[in-house]
Structure 1
Amino acid sequence: MSDSLILTNARIVTIDSVISGSLEVHCGKIVSVDRGNTSLPGAIDLDGDYLIAGMVELHTDNMEKHFTPRPGVTWPPLSAAIAHDVQVIGAGITTVYDALSIGDIMQDSSRMRQLDEMAQTIQVGRKNQVLRADHYLHMRCELSFEGVVDLFRPFCHNPLVRLVSVMDHAPGQRQFLDVGKYREYYQGKYHFSDTQMDAFIARHHRSSEMFSDTYRGQIVALCREHALPMASHDDATPEHIDQAAQSGMVISEFPTTMAAAAAAREKGLNILMGAPNVVRGMSHSGNVSARDLAANDCLDIISSDYFPGSLLQAAFAMHRQMKGISLPQAIAMATRNPARAVGLNDRGEIAAGKRADLVRVREVGDLPVVGAVWTQGRRM
């Protein structure tokens, strides 16, 4: 870790304003943020580029793609984790909650075969200090998967597990209210015939009816016992939000309707949506637009989900393309808001006393580009 760092001639995005000024770091923490430039020796001139807090990513399955880069191909685990980490840090994400699926719609999927290995590899990478971002684990529990509770139980004792979400991807509800979209998505992904798709749908209806309600209660009880923050997933109705609030969940991930998001706002849940949805202006599943939620003050957190580079792009797009959203407000959706939602109060904003996780950003046309990244004052 670098003992000191001075950055100057920057447009510094604080929590409530953008100031032209300088910033000083000592022993991994920000010690001062000042208006105006400094002539102190060793100061790095940022040439008027933006300086934002390192982004905090709460839900990305990007690592899975590196462990299985093609169907039937598995990559050496530590190499895969490092490749994922490089992509994340290059996107300006300095804290990442790697989302690992416990249970899947396919019984013998690669994500299930590699579950323990992926979790262990993050521990190995941290121990050997080969990961640039600060990695934690987000366990995604598929409630319709038989045995998910037994699979989840050992992870309750893993100190890297910092968030747990519960989900049910059965057709006709939540993410896939439109069964036609469900057919389109999974037939495209797995190349099912119509007959195979019919059987697939029927099987998942049965497993959801058999397991979801029981498993939900058991996983919630385990999370409460181990003080693990919880998130609901793909809420579609106010009733889903009521269930989440009663369970003590702190985040509503990817609500699929305006009604659900409005109910989440009323109940005090943090509302998380996908940055790809913001960039594209629409959901790939045909659900509510994240931009519509933002325009109605029903969006707190953005997540890169499946494309790390979307996080920074979405924040700048909201500010540049939507009325009434300042740059500090937009950046906070990728920095302070996710950090606060999961209790990481030492990071996520540029202020004295906070971790010196910092990202230099310049705009090329309408595209924000990462120019440099520091974690705890150390250049990555």
Structure 2
Amino acid sequence: MSNTRSDALLARMMQFHPKIIDLTLDRVWRLLAALDHPERKLSPVIHIAGTNGKGSTQAMIRAGLEADGARVHAYTSPHLARFHERIRLAGTLISEEALAQLLDECLAANGTDSITYFEITTCAALLAFARTPSDYTLLEVGLGGRLDATNVVDQPALTVITPISLDHQQFLGETLPEIAAEKAGIIKRGVPCVVGPQEEAALEVIEARAACLGAPLLVYGQHWHVGVEGGRLIYQDENGLLDLPMPNLPGPHQVQNAGMALAALRALGHGNGAEAAVTQAHWPARMQRLRNGPLVEALPQGTLWLDGGHNPAAGNAIAATLAQMNVGRIWLICGMLNTKDVAGFMRPLQDVAQHLYAVSIPGEAATLSAQQTADAARSAGIDASESPDVLTALQAIAAKDPGAHVLICGSLYLAGHILRENG
């Protein structure tokens, strides 16, 4: 992978704070003030929080808005192969030249003050968005919501809260209501909020927060409904019924994500983009079929898939997707971080897994070792062994089962490594 000027600048930005994550808005407000408050100069903002489905929902909203003629900025994290994926300016990924210039500006404005990598790069994204004309700005929360660096816009046009489950407990709280309170921190006074399917304990927190702020809610199961009938996606709200093709993003969970996107589009007055939202969205490493590259060549008669899900809800979604695909038992290649609920992720995969090859994630200090991941798989009832790397695991699978269906899973960081190395 070639090193660019932006790579060098981003590496410098890792040095300004001893922690990767340190949730507070004080440092962000300081730098935004030094940059002349770009957060006040954005096109109407759609702010998206939640545990699972944020990226897919954002991708569907963007596809719908763009199909209806809107120019759309989008901010997402983490990136998979290149940092530039995080910043999309009016439909186009930011260029190397523009990114390097923005990072230079932010470094100069910040000086030597303490700031985390995510905070300073979020400020760079907001600066880019403020300078480029658009009709909407989509902001995906990095972690939590209340104290996330993206939570600096006083009056977004709309907020969206996707399904909330247990994840990042070391930062957000040990219980579902505690985590929901952090996610609900993006709700703003008087601003409509689309709420995806939630457990009752999370929904109660969201509803209480919205009531305090007079924020109208559009809640799944109350104000809008989505499901599948006759192989078609059926969405209904007070404005009527939509009969649409199934989402092009695979998996039954994408029906719910599509519902949130459709509710958002209708709330924004862009219902004309509904079909494009479900048929034209693209989001890598979400049950993505890999079709070329050296890893695919190692399994010439089989199929190879990639997914970055890494928590119990993602494990359930992957298991449901594989069951829907009707491919029988699947071979897994899995690498995970030591900050995740590994057993919780793997438990739902017990009934769909033929065998799991465990790997460590290259270049990640927080990776579990292959042995630790294999041990966790076995404790979850999955037959498992260790492999030094993904290619070796694929070669072993191909030797045993030439027509195998294989899924690489467990971490967005592993997914990013695969996308970079596999071309």
Shared fold (TM-score, shorter chain, > 0.5): no
Higher strand share: 1
**TM-score normalised over the length of structure 2:** 0.29
**TM-score normalised over the length of structure 1:** 0.31
Structure ranking higher on relative contact order (CA contacts 8 Å, 6+ apart): 1
